[in-house]
Structure 1
Amino acid sequence: MSLDKENIKSGDIIDTHVLRKLYQFVKPYKGRFYFLILLTIALAILAPSRPYFIQIAIDDYVALGDQEGLVKIIYLLVGLLVLQALVQWAHTFLSGWIGQVIIRDIRIKLYRHLLKMRLKFFDNTPIGRLVTRNISDIETLSNVFSEGLAAIIGDLLQLVTILGVMFYVNWKLTLVSLSTLPLLIISTYIFKEKVKVSFNDVRNAVSNLNSFLQEHITGMSIVQIFNREKREYEKFEAINRDHKKANIRSVLYYSIYYPVAEIIQAIGIGLVVWYGATGVFGLDLKVGVLISFIMYLQMFFRPVRMLADRFNTLQMGVVSSSRLFKIMDNDEHIPNEGKLQPEKIKGNIALKNVWFAYNGDEWVLRDINFKVKHGETVALVGATGAGKSSIINLISRFYDINKGVINIDGEDIRDYELSTLRKHIGVVLQDVFLFSDSIYYNITLGNKDISREQVMEAAELVGAKKFIERLPGGLDYNVMERGATLSVGQRQLISFVRAMVYNPEILILDEATSSVDTETEELIQDAIDKMMRGRTSIVIAHRLSTIQKANNIILLHKGEVKEMGTHEELLDKEGYYSQLHQMQKKSMVS
């Protein structure tokens, strides 16, 4: 098992391309977003107003012994506090609300986009990484709206307001107050750069952890069968160690930065007190002004310290957005431009000069030509990798052909609306996938038009009714993830029922009996014959004994049609098929 590590670095904070795309998700809520900006401005004005009124209270009322005026100013301060608390509540709630509805919309759009992607995309992309995109990266993005963009605007506005008031009150004391600001800016910049790197490492480690866990938990049986527990544990321990180190580095930077910032702030306050006290003693400065400046300085340094965090939050949000939009901009989806939506089809299939490759010009199928008439059964045989499964994937348009054409009832399959095309094709795969849900859901896949009675009728037809009725809850029995509580044969029978309830005109069986025992195969072979009756059927078979009644047998070798004919005709040719038939007879005897 390969460990596909991801290593993505942060980009620029101001990525206009990404921000424009993000704004498309904000537009439906732009009224609320603009109101959030107004609340941000209001907070930036309200917060610095408290020290100013405290200065007035001390210098104009306390110093003069004006008790009545002091009471009035206290009422005003209480009113400001209540108003600020209400505005702060509205700001916090609205920023959180906007963040949540936007990530909901992005997550829905991303998942809808994934549903349309070609299977080739999922072949080449680790599932754990897609899980990280849909969960962790989108959660990071929500912080852009709740703690990033609006908070940065608020902090910057508050800094400008505080500076304006400070210069208005006493410009000399303001310059003294800001004497330590260059030290704070330098330390903040260094902190921001260090934490940015550690955040990148953390997010990459999280993505690698998700990919590793998803892959190895899914393949746990392989790990245990081949005694790879110790080796896989060591690999997991290494990834987890990287994750721990990245987090510890970020904790280290925080543990250094905040004490340094506190020291710088304390020095600034000390300078203000020293210079201000000299002014007070010399009667050049009022006590209220000095006290208000100490408060201003505390309020000023807080957003400066927070800006480093805010910018990192915004930067990580931009990185997460870039990752998400990279998937959303990926056009590896099956084009669905067809207009044909027939209620019923006959099921005549024709492949004409079909060429196909999963990668470049590494041809899996080469110039394939054959026809299947309505009601006929065609069997595809050949060694592993001959191209059998590729053909059925092309007919269902899980992949599109590179050259040639595939027709159904004389029409190019690309001219059919995609969901309509697949509605008329029933597929039973060798590897049956079942969701962690009831048997009823796994058969109907949530289609409310299929009744329980129809399900049981189809189950009786394929011989699955008895075992379903024996299960606790019958159709409501939960099969757990991937059908873990059912046998291979039971899972296969459920897949037969699933194909039957949709009543398709074309039936495709991809080695559907190769994973079941002989007794179960005999049980469903009769059901398969009934399923094929009146339907166009394409069967991929490993056991040649199951396809002897086929109207046409096509032997594939390295992506090419080598032989074609009935069972008897191919035996008479004494070619590839005859050799394969003899080999299977000998293996059965032995």
Structure 2
Amino acid sequence: MPKQSTARRLFAYALVYKFRIIGALLILCCAVGAELGGPYITKTIIDQHLSTDARDLAAVLGLLALYMGLLLIASIGNFTQAYILQSTALQIIKNMRMDLMRHIQRIPLRYFDNTPIGQVVSRIANDTEAVRDLFMSFMATFVVSMVQLTGIFAALFILDVRLALFCLLLLPLFVLIMIIHLKYSKVFITIMRARLSDMNAMINESIVVMPIIQAFRREKVTIDEFEVLNEDRYVNQIKQFRIFSLSSRNIVGTIGSLVTALVIWYFGRESLQTAISFGVFYAFIDYLGRIFQPIIGIFDQLTNAQRAFVSADKVFAIMDMEGHEVGKTDHVSRPEGIVKFDDVTFAYKAGENVLKRISFEAHKGETVALVGHTGSGKSSIINLLLGFYEPDDGKITIDGRDISTFSKQELRKHMGIVLQDPFLFAGDIKFNVSLYNEEISLDRVKNALKDVGAAPFIEQLPNGYDEQVVERGSTLSSGQRQLISFARALAFDPSILILDEATASIDSETEGLIQKALKVVSEGRTTLVIAHRLSTIRDADQILVLHRGEIVERGNHDTLMALEGRYYKMYQLQTRERALEV
């Protein structure tokens, strides 16, 4: 199915509220009509009641009252249409932002591997906000201006057809100026939006790795890199403003002054030949002055419109990415947990296999450990099992069913994962265990924390289970964060548990607590462990030794030690290192 243009897609969002928009436009037409009636009433007063000997005060007061009434109607109408249009614009952007956020949840993990977080944040926050300006500012201004221009030219034709036809020639001239403005301005606006996205990405990265930047004295280099982006955005912004200054108010104001002078000359010449009324002259000048205000308004909003279309292109580019629907998991039955890899091959980049013909099987209650040096393929096996990536060849099954036939949510519903660097969300401790899952009660949270040995230190905190945790849990020690993540896995009661180097970055004293927690959490479940410390997997039912994407050894601890192969050497090396530490 061919992609729709950006304008069509934006129009589709607005079409949802077509009745509100049509209603606002009808109110707008009434308001504009009331506004444009003012000069005609003034013309009537001048020609019929002030320029004659018979001055009817009652008629003048009546017309003035009508004028005041029209101004009041115009004021109420303008407020009402502006409120309806702008509230509708906010609703449209709210819908677009939610659609974008929903789609981001569907996008495969590979996209986030190659895209800075700051750029994704910029799409959701900055780019949708720029689109909001399109609906709230430009669209409202454009519609108001078109209605006003239509009414003004109707009044001009009533007053003088020839001069109205001459003024009508101004519109193609202004359209040509707008086209030139848009053509040259878009280049600079596109660069400006790209640099803003790059700056957001760099700011995000700098904040996340600030300890590293300061530890390695990279502050000046980081500032210099940011200055390059900032300077480039500034230069292009200046160029865009230069185009705007030349092609907006200045040129419209100049043309407006020349046309006004021409109209005065025209009416002056006519007055020598015919008895043209001063009222008609006043009304024509008044209406003529009103022509240029809506045109200036459109010019003033052209930059917002271009920025919005550039931003909308970026937003829709993400929405056009292929994604997986977020499926419901209410009726997903709990699996036995038999995991099988059958001749699986996988590459992040075509032709560079990181896994080669991987085959193994893990049953309920068994612990399978994956060991090997960095880059051997341990994490890739976990990523495939979780459905973050698809294998290039071979098959992965759970209870005999190919995982490619599961929805991603169905696949992960009964999986639990504990990472080497456990992530804690901003919120209290009980939330970080339950993640607002309605099926997990407070008692279940407390029991899970107690079972993994986390209850003693939590109950000593000032607010206990209600203690607030800052993002990433930086106020807690690594061991405390790890125990909370174990409790989270236990509370969700998965049938398949994944431990990704969960004991790699903790001290020996905390390791004892983690080991006890590990035994509690893994009991009765299929457990896959990526192990850095080989001493923590001595009791594993099966140990798979990986080297350059292949399983080169397999068996339990005793079997592999007897082989005196790669595992034996790794274990001996770690044992000596730990002896030296002591």
Give the TM-score, by structure 1 length.
Answer: 0.91
3-state DSSP class of the match of 1:553?
strand
Partner of residue 379 from structure 1, selected from 369, 376, 386? 369
- In the aligned structure 2, how far is the partner of 1:298 from the partner of 1:112? 49
Is residue 490–residue 521 contact of structure 2 (8 Å, CA) maintained in 1?
A: yes
Cα deviation 1:428-447 (Å, max 9, x = unaligned): 01121121211111111111
Q: Compared with structure 1, are the counterparts of its residues 425 and 183 closer, same or farther at alpha carbon in structure 2 (3 Å cutoff)?
A: closer
1:158 corresponds to which residue?
148
- Counterpart AA for 2:9: K
Distance, in Å, in 2 between the alignment partners of 1:33 and 1:338 is 35
1:49 corresponds in structure 2 to 37
Is residue 134 of structure 1 aligned with residue 124 of structure 2? Answer: yes
C-alpha separation in 2, matches of 1:194 and 1:58: 48
- Deviation per CA, 1:349-399: give whole Å up to 9, x if none: 111111112222321111110011111111100011111111112212122
- Residue 501 of structure 1 and its aligned partner are, at CA, apart by 0.7
Say which SS state the counterpart of residue 90 (structure 1) adopts.
helix
Provide the residue aligned with 1:17 in structure 2.
5
- The separation in 2 between residues aligned to 1:570 and 1:391, in whole angstroms, is 21
Moved more, 370-379 or 437-446: 437-446
Relative to structure 2, which stretch is displaced further, 514-523 or 74-83?
74-83
SS in 2 for 1:561: strand
In the aligned structure 1, how far is the partner of 2:79 from the partner of 2:572? 81
How many equivalent pairs are there? 575
- CA 1:236–1:270 in structure 2 vs 1: closer, same or farther (change >3 Å)? same
> Which residue of 2 is the match for residue 170 of structure 1?
160
Counterpart for residue 304 of structure 1: 295
2:161 paired with 1:205? no
1:153-172 residue CA offsets vs partner (Å, 9 max, x unmatched): 33233223322321331234
- Structure 1, 35-44 or 541-550: larger mean CA deviation: 35-44
Question: What corresponds to 1:29 in structure 2?
Answer: 17
Amino acid at match of 2:43: Q
User: What letter matches 2:122 in structure 1?
Assistant: T
CA distance in 2, matches of 1:21, 1:187: 27
Q: Could you tell me how far apart the structure 1 residues matched to 2:285 and 2:174 are?
A: 17
- Displacement after TM superposition at 1:341 (Å): 4.7
Match of 1:291 in 2: 282
Q: Does 1:219 align with 2:209?
A: yes
SS in 1 for 2:17: helix
Query: What SS class does the counterpart of residue 475 from structure 2 fall into?
Result: coil
The 5-angstrom pairing of residues 354-369 of structure 1 reads 354-369=344-359
Corresponding letter in the other structure for 2:91: V
SS of 1:515's equivalent in the other structure is coil
Instruction: Note the C-alpha offset of 1:251.
Output: 4.2
Of 80, 92, 103, the residue aligned with 1:102 is 92
- State how far apart, in whole Å, the 1-side matches of 2:328 and 2:554 are: 32
Question: What do the CA deviations read for 1:451-474 (whole angstroms, capped 9, x no partner)?
Answer: 222222111221211121222212
Assess, with a 3 A threshold, how the Cα gap between structure 1 residues 524 and 186 changes in structure 2: closer, same or farther. closer
Q: Which amino acid in structure 1 is aligned with residue 448 of structure 2? A: A
Q: Deviations over 1:247-306 (max 9, x none)?
A: 444444455542443333223223323332343465532111111121111110112222
Q: Which runs of 5+ in 1 are unaligned?
A: 1-14
Q: 1:237, CA displacement in angstroms?
A: 2.0
The aligned residue for residue 119 of structure 1 is 109
Q: Counterpart of 1:4? A: none
Q: Distance in 2 between matches of 1:187 and 1:24?
A: 29
Q: Determine the structure 1 residue equivalent to 2:220.
A: 230
Within-5 A mapping of 1:184-199: 190-199=180-189
Gaps of 5+ in 2: none
Kindly indicate whether the alpha-carbon contact (under 8 Å) linking 2:192 and 2:233 is maintained by their aligned counterparts in 1. Answer: yes
Aligned partners of 1:43 and 1:154 also within 8 Å: no
State the 1:137 CA deviation: 1.3
Distance in 2 (alpha carbons) for counterparts of 1:194 and 1:290: 40
Which deviates the most, 188-197 or 467-476? 188-197
Which residue of 2 is the match for residue 322 of structure 1? 313
Q: Is the 8 A contact 2:426 2:470 kept in 1?
A: yes
Give 3-state SS (helix, strand or coil) of 1:358's partner: strand
State the shift of 1:219 in Å: 1.3
User: 2:410 is matched with which residue?
Assistant: 420
Q: What's the counterpart of residue 10 of structure 1?
A: none
SS class of match (1:87): helix
2:48: which partner in 1? 60
Contact 1:189/1:308 (<8 A) preserved: no
Alpha-carbon distance between aligned partners in 2 of 1:16 and 1:82, rounded to the nearest angstrom:
43
Q: Is 1:264 aligned to 2:255, yes or no?
A: yes
The correspondence for 2:508, drawn from 514, 518, 542, is 518
Counterpart residue type for residue 300 of structure 2: D
Q: Is the 8 A contact 1:341 1:416 kept in 2?
A: no
Query: 390, 400, 411: which one pairs with 1:400?
Result: 390
| TM-score normalized with structure 2 length | 0.92
Q: CA RMSD in A?
A: 2.5
Q: Following TM superposition, by how much is the alpha carbon of 1:60 offset from its aligned partner in structure 2, in angstroms?
A: 1.7
User: 2:441 aligns to what?
Assistant: 451
Q: Tell me if structure 2 keeps the 8 A contact 1:176–1:272.
A: no
Give the whole-Å Cα distance in 1 for the aligned partners of 2:179 and 2:109.
Answer: 45
User: CA 1:308–1:110 in structure 2 vs 1: closer, same or farther (change >3 Å)?
Assistant: same
Q: Please give the secondary structure, in 2, of the residue aligned with 1:448.
A: coil
1:574 maps onto 2:531 in alignment: no
Do 1:338 and 1:415's aligned partners in 2 also have CA atoms closer than 8 Å? Answer: no
Query: Relative to 1, partners in 2 of residues 1:190 and 1:451: Cα closer, same or farther, differing over 3 Å?
Result: same
